[in-house]
Structure 1
C-alpha cells in the first residue's frame, strides 16, 4: 500500500469511494464537488492510499480560517475520509489519518478539526470532542415578529462577493470573541455563492444564507455585528412564514436571536459533534486568542505519540500566549486532553475522564485562560 497525492485523473475513483461510503450524489452535486476539490489537488491537500493502481482510501484537508476567542488562525479541516468497503478493518483509516496529520503540519497548520462518522478512529490519532454545530428548530411565525429597528441595506450576494463576505466574518467573530466558527477559503466561497437554490444576502456588518428544505426554511449561516442588522436578517427569514411553518437554523449556543423570540419554553436542538486536534503546541498557543484579563503560568507536558509531544511553559496574559520548551514537571495531558483544554473543556472534566493528571495548582488559571463555548455554523 502506497500513499500519494491525488490528481484530477483520480477523481472518478474518489467519487466511487464517496458513493460507497456516503451514498450517491446528484449530477449537480458531483459537478459542484469537482469544482470545490480542484484547488485542494494543486495544494497537496488530497491524499489517497493505493493498492497498486487501485484507490483504497482517501482524505482531504480543507483550508479554513477558525476563530478562537475572536482571533483567527489557519485550520486544517479533515473531510471526505473514505475507505473502500473491501478494505475496511485493515487499518487504512488510521494510516490515511496519520498521513493527513503530517501533511497539515507541512502546510503550516497548527490545529485541525473534523466531523466524525465514528469516534474511535479519530480519538486514536489524537482528536477529541470539542464542540458542536447547534441546529435549532423554530416557528417561522416567531421570527416574523422580529421587527427591524433601523434602516439596514440588504443586497443579494453572488460569487464576486466572497472577499467582502470573508471580511464581514472577520469583523463579526472578532467583535463577538467567538470560538470555533470557520470561514471557507475564497475559492470555495465562490463555488457556494454560485448556488442558484440558495438565498444570499449581504449587509455592511452581516449576511444570511438560507434555502427552502421541503416545506421548511433552512438557515445555514446568519451572522451580524449590530442589533439592527441582526433584526433585519432574521425578520427577512421570518417573512416566509406565510408558507413555511418552521425554520431550522444553525446558531451559536447563546445566539442573540434566541433572546429576540417572544416565547421560549422547550427548544428542539440537534447537536452535530465535531472533534479537534492540536498539531503544533507552540504555534497553536501563540495563534489563539484569550480573555484579556486572564493570566496563566503553567508547565504542561503533552503526550503525542504521532507528533512527539514535549513539555512547555505556558505564559498567557493580555489576550496573548506563548509556549516555551522547558525541562520541568507540571501537569500531564494526552494530546487528546490538551486539544480539549484548548477548546475550553474544564480541567475537572479532563481529570475525571483520565485525560489530565499531575499537579493541580494550575487548574484554575488554565480554566480561566482557555475558557470558551466552541461551536460551528458550517458542516464539512
Structure 2
C-alpha cells in the first residue's frame, strides 16, 4: 500500500469510494463536491492510500478556524474518511489516519477535530470526545413570542458576503469567549452561500442560515453579538410558525435563545458528538485563549504513540499560555487525556477514566485554566 496526494484525476475514484461508504451521490451533489474539494487538492489536504492503481482509502483535511475561549486558531478538520469495503479490517483506516495526522502537523495545524462514524479507531490514534453539535427541537410557535427589541437592519446574504460573515464570526466568538465553534474559509463560504434552498440573512453583528425541511424549519446557524440582533434573527425564523410545525436548530448548550422562550420544561435535544486531538503541544497551548483570571504552572508528560509525546512545563496567566520542554516530574496524560483537558474535561473525570495519572497538585489550576463548554454549530 502507498499513501500519496489525491489529484484531480483521482476524483472519480474518490466519489466511487464515497458512494460505497455513504450511499448514492446525485449528479448535482457530485459537482458541488468537486468544487468544494479542489482547494484541498492544491493545498495537499487530500490523501489517498493506493493498492497499485486502485484507491483503497481516502481522507480530507479541511482548513478551518476554531475558537477556544474566544481566540481563533487554524484547525485541521478531518472529513470524508472512507475505506473500500474489501479493505476493511486490514488496518487501512488506521494507516490513512496516521498519515492524515502527520500531514496536518506538517502543514502547521496544532489541533484537529472530526465527527466519528465509530469511536474506537480515532480514540486509538489520540482523538477524544470533546463536545457536540446540539440539535434542539421546538414547536415553531414557541419562537413567535420572541419580539424584536428595536430596529435591526437585516439584509439577504449571498456568495459575495463571505468575508463579512467571517468578520462577524471573529467578532462574536471572540466577545463571547466561545470554545469549539468553527468557520470555513472564504472560498467554502462562497460556495455554501450560493445554495438556493437556504434563506440567508446578515446583520451588522450577526447572521442566520435556515431552510425548509418538509413541514419543519431547519436552522443551520444563528450567530449574534447583541440581544437586538438575536431577537431580530429568531423573530424572522419564528415568523414561519403559521406554516411550520417544528423548528430543529443547532444551538450552543447555553444558547441565549433558550432563555428567551416563554415556556421551557421538557426539551428534545440530539447531540452529535465530535472528537478532538492536540497535534503540537507547544503550539496548541500558545494559540489557545484562557480565562484572564486563571493562573497555572504545571508539568505535564504526554504519551503520544503517533507524534511521540514528551514533557512540558505549562505557564498560563493573563489569558495566554506557553509550553516549554523540560525533564521534571509531573502529571502524566495520554494524548487523549491532554486533548480532553484542552477541551475542558475536568481532571477528576480524566483520572477516574484512566486518561490522567501522577501528581495531582496541579489539578485545580489546570481545571481553571482549561475550563470550557465546547460546542459546534456546523457539521462537516
TM-score, length-scaled by structure 2: 1.00
For 2:25 and 2:132, the matched residues in 1 are separated by: 25
Q: For residue 366 of structure 1, what is the aligned residue in structure 2?
A: 366
Instruction: Find the aligned partners of 1:40 and 1:32 in 2 and give their Cα distance.
Output: 14
State how far apart, in whole Å, the 2-side matches of 1:198 and 1:24 are: 23
Match of 1:352 in 2: 352
- C-alpha distance after superposition, 1:32-81 (max 9, x if no partner): 11110010000000000000000000000000000000000000000000
Tell me what 2:323 maps to.
323
| Distance apart, 1:144 and its partner CA | 1.5
Match of 1:236 in 2: 236
Residues 166-177 of structure 1: matches in 2 within 5 Å?
A: 166-177=166-177
SS of residue matched to 2:372 = coil
| Residue 82 of structure 2 corresponds to residue 82 of structure 1 | yes
Rounded to whole Å, the distance in 2 between the matches of 1:96 and 1:33 is: 21
Distance 2:366 2:261 in 1: 36
Structure 2 CA distance for aligned equivalents of residues 307 and 53 of structure 1: 29
Q: C-alpha distance in 1, partners of 2:185/2:302?
A: 31
SS in 2 for 1:262: coil
Q: In the alignment, does 2:52 pair up with 1:52?
A: yes
The Cα shift of 1:313 comes to 0.4
Deviation at 1:344, TM superposition (A): 0.2
Partner of 2:209: 209
1:258-282 superposed Cα distances (whole Å, 9 cap, x missing partner) = 0000100000000000000000000
Unaligned stretches of 5+ residues in structure 2: none
Contact 1:211–1:217, Cα closer than 8 Å, also in 2: yes
Report SS of the residue matched to 2:294.
Answer: coil
Tell me by how many angstroms 1:188 deviates.
0.5
Name the SS of the counterpart of 1:257 in structure 2: helix
| Structure 1 residue aligned with 2:245 | 245
1:291 aligned counterpart, secondary structure: coil
Unaligned runs of 5+ residues in structure 1 are: none
Kept in 2, the 8 Å contact 1:144–1:236? The answer is: no
| TM-score normalised according to structure 1 size | 1.00
Partner of 2:256: 256
1:1-380 superposed matches below 5 A: 1-380=1-380
CA RMSD of aligned residues (A): 0.5
Deviation of 1:24 after TM superposition, in Å, equals 1.0
